[in-house]
Structure 1
Amino acid sequence: MTSSQTFYELIPAEDWDKPSFIDDEKFEASISRSILDGVIYGGAKSYRNMCHFNSGYFYRQKRLLNYDWYFRVEPDVEYMCDFQYDPFELLRINNKIYGFVIAIPEYENTIPTLWQTVEQFMEENPELIHANNSLDFITSNDTSLNHWQPLVPSSSKYNLCHFWSNFEIGNLNFFRSEAYGKYFDFLDKSGGFYYERWGDAPVHSIGLNILADKNSIHHFEDIGYYHAPYLACPTSRDVIASKRCVCKAYGYDGDKITKPVDVNIHSCLSRWWKYGAGKSFLNDIDYNNSI
């Protein structure tokens, strides 16, 4: 599949398994409660390990220490358009540290105390909060951005919006920074990854929204992407034609999916355009003349 050299690594048990400070009895009770409450993936212990690892340990792996950038690639995903430029170079030359494709709300029952833990972290570490943060993106609740429809219910100030992390391209040095390290350690010590079912997507997103300059986060509008059940595709007909996008996919039930999640009333993308870095086209390349 590639002409480049590839490496395959085994994640050390101490980076994958739950930390020693997690109470086993409380953890088992959480698993049982999650199953009864219908929490998505709540009954899978390995899923909690995965979320914990992707939140605070993937960037510490020995193989990655000589790298500055990563592209998260998941199984069973489809890329709906040709890649006609280097996304790493695009981020690097434009002083970006993170790129996403889809922004949607999280399931609140997976993170019941995440936001109050984040608020406590911000209260105790005000010097780490970036002056040009995108906090409004994850705390605003105006319905004008969702066709005047109510937002997904939330019991906290957090509106549940997050960057869907099964696609993300980012700078490893952000996650290796002192600020993110303190942020993750604070969340980790609370036990929420195991006593609840915190996902790495909201953890990554909230970290970026409070610790990073909002102008350093980029939405890849021209990357077509499908990970069941959501499809993202460019809206420009010129881009769709020149990048040879196939903006249709098939769901688990075999039904054809042609409507991008971006136009779903519960999409958080328009909220990012208003309260985040805005809507921009950094990759002003001539697609018609691209190879």
Structure 2
Amino acid sequence: MLPKEKSKYKKNGNDLAFLFFRHSRVIGAVMVVLFTLFMVFEKKDDFTSASYVLPSFEGKSYMDRGDYIYSSRVGSTSGKTSRVKAAMVVLVRDKDLYSLVDAIKQVEDRFNKNFNYDWVFLSEALFSDDFKEVTTALVSGKTKYGLIPESQWSYPEWIDQKRAAAVREEMRKAEIIFGDMESYRHMCRYESGFFYRHPELEEYDYYWRIEPDIKLHCDINYDIFRFMKDNGKKYGFTISIHEYVSTIMTLWNTTKEFMAEHPEHIHENNMLDFISDDGGESYNNCHFWSNFEIGDLNFWRGEAYSAYFDHLDKAGGFFYERWGDAPVHSIAAALLLDRNEIHHFNDLGYFHNPFHQCPIDDVVRFENRCGCDPALDFTWKDFSCGVQFYTVNELKKPDGWVGHVG
């Protein structure tokens, strides 16, 4: 080979090396892509098997054995799908708007977006336009805004206001929760005896009480009001608890007076054994936590409950002590209703500070996309009355409930 030809090939060889070096990164990237595609197609089954599929729980829940009504499976026994006359009811002040917003979204997202029930907001003061605009924008049903009459948010003529003020001061010194709050007492009296009489609620038969800052942990995929109507339920709850004795010192004696005067109003299949451990001699302080309650408005409007509230109101315990609407409603439901008309919504996840209801049954929790820790469930704890409710009604408790006691 001539020297000139050697020089030409040498130069071309350097050019080839240079080009290879210059494009080596591109070539390497292409090789990585080809290798990855090869692995994907060759190992497709391995990648698929890495995903987790929730096992079937069909037939594995204690609720599948017919021991207790599991509302989200029973649904409407009549087969009807039309809405009933019902609404969400909120007793709230204008200033609480943005602590209420999340609660509304919880109820709408977990339940009402599928059913479009109305919302009724009640207050002792007028709502602002801002409150009305924000709440109306958040809900799927209609909104109504009711002003509470002054006569229902003030002292009745038979109350000694100086005595009532002295009681509040004593409770303040004793550090009794809400003991010194005047407005709290008006609220409890109003919830006990007046909310269901408001003109904005006249067209409805059922209500769901909602409060600011509550949370719903689980989806509610059935019409909860239709369930109440079709299954003959008049009072529904999630959390039950013992009341503070110091707030209701004379409530039970006043109730016993009513029972003696009006035996015709006490239901023959009542649930006295839920609220008393000694046949009615004393009150064990068990009550349904009324920050969540779903009920029949016509029960409160009826003759029996009206007579009971009037008897309590004349006794003055809403102001001379600190009677809450929760024990008042609970005692009334236990005495005036058939025990079968009271329902524990065991499939609902609910939170009101500081207590949770979180279904401990896996089926309930997974089927309803509950976002809560069952270890926090209050239903079976010592201070709860959940065990009492299930025991006196001879209801099957969920598997593993004992592990949640304490």
TM-score (normalised: structure 1): 0.86
Counterpart position of 1:164 = 289
Counterpart position of 1:267 = 384
Q: CA deviation at 1:279?
A: 4.7
Counterpart position of 2:102 = none
Q: CA deviation at 1:278?
A: 3.2
Counterpart position of 1:34 = 171
TM-score (normalised: structure 2): 0.62
Counterpart position of 2:23 = none
Which digits, 9 at most, give the CA deviation of each residue in 1:237-267, with x for residues without a partner? 122112110114xxxxxxxx94111121221
Of the three residues 159, 169, 181, the one matched with 1:44 is 181
Q: Secondary structure at the match of 1:267?
A: coil
Equivalent-residue separation in structure 2 for 1:280 and 1:10 (angstroms): 43
Counterpart position of 2:204 = 67
Counterpart position of 2:343 = 218
Specify the structure having the higher radius of gyration (Cα): 2
Runs of 4+ in 1 over 2 A off after TM superposition: 276-281
Q: Give 1 or 2: higher helix fraction.
A: 2
Counterpart position of 1:119 = 256
The 5 Å alignment of 1:1-291 reads 1-140=138-277, 157-248=282-373, 258-276=375-393, 278-279=395-396
* RMSD between superposed Cα atoms in Å: 1.7
Q: Secondary structure at the match of 1:7?
A: strand
Distance 1:58-1:280 versus aligned 2 partners, 3 A rule: farther
Q: Secondary structure at the match of 1:226?
A: strand
Q: Secondary structure at the match of 2:144?
A: coil
Q: Secondary structure at the match of 1:231?
A: strand
Distance 1:277-1:76 versus aligned 2 partners, 3 A rule: farther
Indicate the structure whose relative CO is greater, using CA pairs within 8 Å and at least 6 residues apart.
1
Q: Secondary structure at the match of 2:203?
A: coil
Which digits, 9 at most, give the CA deviation of each residue in 1:84-138, with x for residues without a partner? 1111111110011110001110000010000000011101111110000000111
Distance 1:69-1:277 versus aligned 2 partners, 3 A rule: farther
Equivalent-residue separation in structure 2 for 1:242 and 1:132 (angstroms): 34
Distance 1:96-1:207 versus aligned 2 partners, 3 A rule: same
Structure 1, unaligned runs of 5 or more: 142-155, 249-256, 282-291
The sequence identity of aligned pairs, in percent, is: 48
Structure 2, unaligned runs of 5 or more: 1-137, 399-406
Distance 1:119-1:104 versus aligned 2 partners, 3 A rule: same
Counterpart position of 1:253 = none
Equivalent-residue separation in structure 1 for 2:274 and 2:143 (angstroms): 38
Which digits, 9 at most, give the CA deviation of each residue in 1:140-172, with x for residues without a partner? 27xxxxxxxxxxxxxx71000000000000000
Q: CA deviation at 1:15?
A: 1.2
* Aligned length in residues: 260
